Amino acid sequence: KNEVEQSPQNLTAQEGEFITINCSYSVGISALHWLQQHPGGGIVSLFMLSSGKKKHGRLIATINIQEKHSSLHITASHPRDSAVYICAAMFYYGGSQGNLIFGKGTKLSVKP
C-alpha cells in the first residue's frame, strides 16, 4: 500500500531557529515533492527530489532512498516562512488512490 507519513503536524518556532520537517514513505518512489502553501494561497512547488540533496536559499531538502525518508530544513527561519508544508510522493505503482500520494502537511508558525 502506498503511504506517506509527515511529521510534525504542527510546529511553532522562534525567528532564527533551524527547522526540520520529516516525510517517510512506504515503498518505492520515482520522485518526492515538497510543496508550500501560505494561508489563503495556492500551492507552490519547492523541490522535486529523486536522490541526494537540493538547496534553494534558506531551504534544503534531502532524501535517503534506503531509509525511505526525506527532510525539509529551513535555516534562519523567518515569520514569512509560516505556511503549510506538504510532501507528496510519486510511487512507481499505483494503488486505489493512484500513484501520487500526499502527506497530511505540517503547519509551521514562526514567531518574531
Partner 1 sequence: DTGVSQDPRHKITKRGQNVTFRCDPISEHNRLYWYRQTLGQGPEFLTYFQNEAQLEKSRLLSDRFSAERPKGSFSTLEIQRTEQGDSAMYLCASSSTGVGTEAFFGQGTRLTVV
90 forms part of the interface with partner 1 (CB under 8 A): yes
Nearest-approach distance from CB 12 to partner 1, in angstroms:
14
Q: Which of residues 16 and 94 has its CB atom nearest to partner 1 in the complex?
A: 94
| Spatial distance between the Cα atoms of 61 and 15, rounded to a whole number of angstroms | 20
Nearest-approach distance from CB 84 to partner 1, in angstroms:
7
Contacts 24+ apart (CB under 8 A), 40-48: 41/83, 43/86, 46/72, 46/85, 47/72
Nearest-approach distance from CB 30 to partner 1, in angstroms:
5
